[in-house]
C-alpha cells in the first residue's frame, strides 16, 4: 500500500469512527430537549425520566465523539498540514462557528444536567434550547469543510474569498442531509439502547422508533437531493458512486457496490423499523428487531460515509473530474518508515477495541441503571 493511500485510509477510518458518535449526539440531543419540553407542558413524570435517560446516552456518546474528534484533528494537522491550512484560511468563519459551538455546548451540557430538578421545569426546558443550538452549530460549521473538499470555491488567489466559501452551492444539501441523518440515527440508536433494559421501556422505544421512522422519508429525499447536487458539481464522485447500473463511468471499482449495499440496508431498516414500531404500538418490545434497527442505522452511516469520502480518491479537493491529489497535500517533512505505519495501524485498532469495550460498559452495565431514577 502506498503512503498516500494508507494515510488517506487512516484519515477516513478516524473520520467514520468520529461520525458514528457525532450523529447520535445530534439526534439524541434534539430528542432530549423535545421530550423534556413535552414533559414540562404535560407535567408527565415518565417523559421527564425518558429525557434523563436519553440525555445520559448523549453524554456518553459525546465523550467518545470528542476523543475521536481529537484523534482526527491530530492526524489532519500532522499528515495533511496543507489541507488544514486551506481550511483555516478560507473557512475561518465556519471553523470559528463550529469551535464556538463546542465551547458553548460543554458548559451548557453540564448546567443542563446539574440543574435538573434544581430550577423550575420551565426554566430547565428553555435551557435545553441554547444547548441544542450549540450542539448543532458544530456539524453545521464543520460541514463547510466537506463542501469545500467537494467544490473548492474561494481558495484561488492570494486572498481567499470568504463570501464565496460561505455560499458554496454544495453546502445546503450536505448540511440538510447531515442534520436529518443525525436525527434519524439518534432516534434508532436510542430505541436500540432502551430495548436492552431488563425493565423494558415500551413507551420509550415506541417514541424513539416513531421518530426514526417518521424521519426516514425526509432523510431519503435529502440524500437524493445531495446526490443531484453532487452530479452537478462533482461528476468524479458521482461516476464512482453510480457505477454502470446508473450510467456512471467509475474509475474506482470498489465504491458503487458499497453504495448499492447501503441502499439495500435502507430498505431493510425500513422493514425492520416498521415491524418493531408496530410491536411497540401493540404494547411489547421486540428486542432483536429494535436493536437491529439501531445497528442498521449506524451501518448505513458507515457505508454511505465511506462511499462519499472514498469516492474522491486519489484526490482530496475536487474540481469537476480532477482535483488536488492526496500526495500533493502530504507532510513531506515527516518520513514514515514501515515500523511507523504498523505502529499507527496497531494503536488505532487497539484504541478502537478499548473504546468499544468502555462504551459497552458505560451504556449497558453502569450508565443506564435498571432501577428507576
Closest CA to 136 of 174, 183, 168, 173: 183
For residue 318, give the 3-state DSSP assignment: strand
pLDDT of the residue at 157? 58
Closest CA to 188 of 36, 365, 57, 59: 57
Residue 288 lies in a domain: yes
Query: What pLDDT, on the 0 to 100 scale, is given for residue 371?
Result: 41
Go through 219-234 and write b for each residue having 16 or more CB atoms within 10 A of its CB, e for each that does not: beebbeebbebbbebb
pLDDT reading at 64 higher than 90: no
Please indicate, yes or no, if residue 372 is contained in any of the structural domains. Answer: no
List the domain range (segments joined by +) for residue 187: 3-366
CA dist., res. 97 & res. 321, Å (int)? 31
Sequence-distant (6+) residues with CB within 8 A of 63 are: none
Assess whether pLDDT exceeds 80 at residue 200. no
Q: What confidence tier does 5 reach under pLDDT thresholds 50, 70, 90?
A: confident
- Residue 314, preceding bond cis, omega within 30 degrees? yes
User: Alpha carbon of 361 to those of 244, 268, 298, 365: distances in Å?
Assistant: 45, 28, 19, 5
Tell me the pLDDT tens digit for each residue of 166-178: 889 999 999 999 9
The mean per-residue pLDDT over the stretch 312-321 comes to 88
Q: Of 161-165, 216-220, 352-356, which one has max mean pLDDT?
A: 216-220
Residue 138 domain-assigned?
yes
**Amino acid 373: pLDDT:** 47
Min mean pLDDT across 108-112, 182-186, 197-201, 275-279 is at 197-201
For the ranges 114-118, 193-197, 207-211, 245-249, which has the lowest average pLDDT? 245-249
- Residue 46 falls within a domain, yes or no? yes
Number of domains comprising the chain: 1
pLDDT value for 172: 95
pLDDT mean across residues, the chain: 89
Question: Rounded to whole angstroms, how far apart are CA atoms 113 and 109?
Answer: 6
- The pLDDT value given to residue 320: 79
Give 130's pLDDT tier (boundaries 50, 70, 90).
Answer: very high
pLDDT digits (tens, 9 = 90+) for 45-61: 999 999 999 999 999 89
**pLDDT higher than 50, residue 9:** yes
Task: Look at residue 319 and tell me if it is in a domain.
Answer: yes
Q: Which three cell numbers stand for residue 166?
A: 460561505
In a domain, 240, yes or no: yes
Q: How confident is the model at residue 184 (pLDDT cuts 50, 70, 90)?
A: very high
For residue 88, name the pLDDT band (cuts at 50, 70, 90): confident
Hey, which residues does 315 pair with through a beta bridge? 325
pLDDT by residue (tens digit) across 329-366? 888 777 777 787 778 788 888 888 888 887 777 776 65
Q: How many residues does the chain have?
A: 373
User: Which residues lie closer than 8 Å to 79 by C-beta, 6 or more apart?
Assistant: 7, 10, 11, 330, 331, 334
| Closest to 23 measured CA to CA, from 354, 355, 302 | 302
Q: What is the pLDDT of residue 259?
A: 95
> Which of 114-128, 236-250, 307-321 is modeled with the greatest confidence?
114-128
Query: Is residue 355 within 8 Å of residue 66, measured between CB atoms?
Result: no
Q: Are the beta carbons of 292 and 209 closer than 8 angstroms? A: no
Cα–Cα distance measured from residue 364 to residue 133, given in angstroms and rounded to the nearest whole number: 28
pLDDT of residue 372: 46
Domain-embedded: residue 105: yes
294-298 mean pLDDT: 96
For residue 373, being part of any structural domain is answered with: no
Strand-strand pairing, 315-319 and 322-325: antiparallel
The closest of 30, 84, 39 to 58, measured between CA atoms, is 30
CA 206 from centroid of its chain's CA atoms:
23
Give the phi and the psi of residue 369 in degrees, each rounded to 5: -65, 150
Higher confidence at residue 187 or residue 88? Answer: 187
CA–CA separation, 260 vs 314, rounded Å? 22
One DSSP character per residue, 263-278 reads HHHHHHHHHHHHHHHH
Amino acid at each position: 500500500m502506498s503512503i498516500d493511500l494508507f494515510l488517506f485510509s487512516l484519515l477516513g477510518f478516524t473520520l467514520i469512527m468520529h461520525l458514528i458518535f457525532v450523529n447520535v449526539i445530534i439526534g439524541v440531543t434534539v430528542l432530549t430537549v423535545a421530550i423534556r419540553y413535552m414533559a414540562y407542558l404535560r407535567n408527565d413524570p415518565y417523559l421527564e425520566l425518558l429525557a434523563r435517560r436519553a440525555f445520559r446516552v448523549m453524554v456518553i456518546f459525546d465523550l467518545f465523539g470528542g476523543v475521536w474528534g481529537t484523534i482526527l484533528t491530530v492526524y489532519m494537522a500532522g499528515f495533511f498540514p496543507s489541507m488544514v491550512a486551506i481550511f483555516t484560511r478560507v473557512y475561518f468563519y465556519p471553523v470559528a462557528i463550529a469551535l464556538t459551538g463546542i465551547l458553548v455546548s460543554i458548559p451548557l451540557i453540564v448546567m443542563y444536567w446539574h440543574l435538573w430538578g434544581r430550577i423550575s421545569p420551565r426554566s430547565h426546558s428553555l435551557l435545553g434550547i441554547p444547548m441544542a443550538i450549540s450542539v448543532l452549530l458544530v456539524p453545521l460549521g464543520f460541514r463547510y469543510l466537506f463542501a469545500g473538499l467537494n467544490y473548492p470555491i474561494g481558495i484561488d488567489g492570494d486572498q481567499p474569498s470568504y463570501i464565496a466559501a460561505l455560499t458554496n452551492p454544495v453546502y445546503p444539501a450536505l448540511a440538510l442531509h447531515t442534520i436529518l441523518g443525525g436525527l434519524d440515527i439518534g432516534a434508532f440508536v436510542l430505541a436500540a439502547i432502551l430495548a436492552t433494559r431488563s425493565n423494558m421501556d415500551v413507551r420509550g422505544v415506541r417514541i424513539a422508533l416513531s421518530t426514526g421512522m417518521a424521519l426516514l422519508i425526509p432523510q431519503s429525499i435529502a440524500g437524493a437531493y445531495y446526490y443531484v447536487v453532487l452530479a452537478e458539481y462533482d461528476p468524479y464522485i458521482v461516476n464512482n458512486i453510480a457505477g454502470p447500473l446508473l450510467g456512471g463511468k467509475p474509475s474506482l471499482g470498489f465504491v458503487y457496490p458499497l453504495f448499492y449495499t447501503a441502499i439495500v440496508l435502507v430498505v431493510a431498516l425500513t422493514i425492520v423499523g416498521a415491524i418493531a414500531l408496530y410491536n411497540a404500538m401493540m404494547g411489547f418490545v421486540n428486542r432483536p428487531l429494535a436493536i437491529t434497527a439501531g445497528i442498521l442505522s449506524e451501518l448505513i452511516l458507515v457505508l454511505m460515509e465511506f462511499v462519499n469520502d472514498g469516492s474522491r480518491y486519489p484526490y482530496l479537493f475536487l474540481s469537476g473530474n480532477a482535483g488536488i491529489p492526496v500526495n500533493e497535500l502530504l507532510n513531506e517533512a515527516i518520513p514514515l518508515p514501515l515500523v511507523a505505519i504498523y505502529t499507527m495501524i496497531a494503536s488505532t485498532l487497539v484504541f478502537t477495541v478499548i473504546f468499544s469495550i468502555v462504551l459497552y460498559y458505560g451504556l449497558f452495565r453502569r450508565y443506564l441503571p435498571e432501577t428507576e431514577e
